[in-house]
Chains A and B, each alone.
Chain A
Amino acid sequence: SQELEQSPQSLIVQEGKNLTINCTSSKTLYGLYWYKQKYGEGLIFLMMLQKGGEEKSHEKITAKLDEKKQQSSLHITASQPSHAGIYLCGADRTQGGSEKLVFGKGTKLTVNP
């Protein structure tokens, strides 16, 4: 079965620093989703990538999907304390359907002021 590996598991950075979180799959990704979760709270949808080589940005967060569609990265520029939380990548298990998602175990981000 498809699994998503996220790295690093946790990350502590100083405010203003850039950082990157990776999400790797052993199989082709049909739809790749990035979510952010505050501790113990719901998941907030950030971005979705579908095409090889695709890149999307929202404010200071950029997500990319590689050409082979097996790895995605989430990059935060000039991090702020508001970026702190758990970042999860999720992927569609089947082509054409979003009913079954598999998730990585998450990356816990701490941003120190």
Chain B
Amino acid sequence: EAQVTQNPRYLITVTGKKLTVTCSQNMNHEYMSWYRQDPGLGLRQIYYSMNVEVTDKGDVPEGYKVSRKEKRNFPLILESPSPNQTSLYFCASSRPGNNQPQHFGDGTRLSIL
């Protein structure tokens, strides 16, 4: 089954404790992205990657890092999480082109205390 898999689905942690949210897709997609979704602000792009070793900032990259060492994986790293990073996070993947919808994972609900 074609899918984007995120782990963990839920995480409660404390300020300053480094964490990584993993994302893996099995569709051989070139493009991958991370979004965060917050009430009243909608879905905002954090980082995206157009292929292996090619990443770029989205709209809200501060406080986040990403890497794309393999085509299927695109982890999101919070080196020193803070409470304002409490949010619902989504990973997505797609093929290149304007007629290629992004496929989303089920989301990771992150709470930073």
The answer on A and B forming one complex is: yes
- Closest chain-B Cβ to A34's Cβ sits at a distance in Å of 9
CB of A101 within 8 A of CB of B33, answer: yes
CB of A42 within 8 A of CB of B104, answer: yes
List the B side residues contacting A97 at CB < 8 Å: 96-98
Whole-angstrom distance between the alpha carbons of A43 and B92 in the complex? 10
Any chain A CB within 8 A of the CB of B103?
yes
Given A42-B106, A45-B103, A105-B40, the answer on whether A98 and B88 have CB atoms closer than 8 Å is no
List the B side residues contacting A103 at CB < 8 Å: 42-44
CB of A105 within 8 A of CB of B42, answer: yes
- For chain A, the bracket of interface size reads 20 to 34
Chain B interface residue count, Cβ-Cβ cutoff 8 angstroms: 30
CB of B50 within 8 A of CB of A99, answer: yes
Whole-angstrom distance between the alpha carbons of A40 and B111 in the complex? 14
Whole-angstrom distance between the alpha carbons of A43 and B94 in the complex? 14
Interface positions of A from 80 to 111, Cβ below 8 Å from B: 88, 90, 92, 95-106
- B contacts, CB < 8 Å to A: 31, 33, 40-45, 48-50, 58, 88, 90, 92, 94-107, 109
- A contacts, CB < 8 Å to B: 30-31, 33, 35, 40-45, 48, 50, 88, 90, 92, 95-106
Subset of 16 A-B contacts with CB under 8 Å:
A33-B101, A41-B106, A41-B107, A42-B90, A42-B107, A45-B101, A45-B103, A45-B104, A95-B98, A96-B97, A96-B98, A98-B96, A98-B99, A103-B42, A103-B44, A106-B43
